[in-house]
Homo-oligomer: A and B are copies of this chain.
Amino acid sequence: MIKKDENFEKGLNILKQIDSENYESIVDSFKDSIAPDLGTLAVSFNYGQIFSRPGLDLKSRLLATVAGLTAMGNIEQLKFYINGALNVGWTEEEIVEAMMQMIIYSGFPSGLNTILTVATEVFEDRKAKNI
């Protein structure tokens, strides 16, 4: 098992800003997995070494991430990041617009699938929790 260094701590701090409610359970979910190091690497590298870099603020990074994942048609990770983008200050309308924007570059299916399923689900979850 790889050790948790200062990048891991920086990463946890960013994750907390993105989703203070769920970040601990996400990190914990790797513990008993077949690849515990994968969780440590994801926190240290993705959040501790990329997301935490100066030069672009967290809010902009989350918009870029939602756009990139929509363009790639990646449904699994989008839910977490759409929720995170709303947590750091983007409105639902802004998120939908950024996702619609991707239709130009990756076609209608990627936009339709992600907006009508993932984004809709995140918005409804938050409404149910009065966020």
Contacts and interface: CB of A to CB of B under 8 A. Distances in A.
Given A46-B108, A106-B72, A106-B106, A101 B51 contact: yes
Contact of A49 (B2, B71, B96, B119): B2
Which size class do A's interface residues fall under? 35 or more
A129 interface: no
B60 A94 contact: yes
Contacts of A96: 34-35, 55
Contact of A108 (B49, B93, B104): B104
Contact of A119 (B34, B67, B68, B112): B34
B33 A116 contact: yes
Contacts of A33: 115-116, 120
B101 A50 contact: yes
A70 B37 CA distance: 18
Interface string A110-129: 01110110011001000000
12 contacts: A35-B100, A41-B100, A42-B112, A56-B94, A61-B101, A69-B109, A72-B106, A72-B109, A74-B105, A77-B109, A103-B107, A105-B108
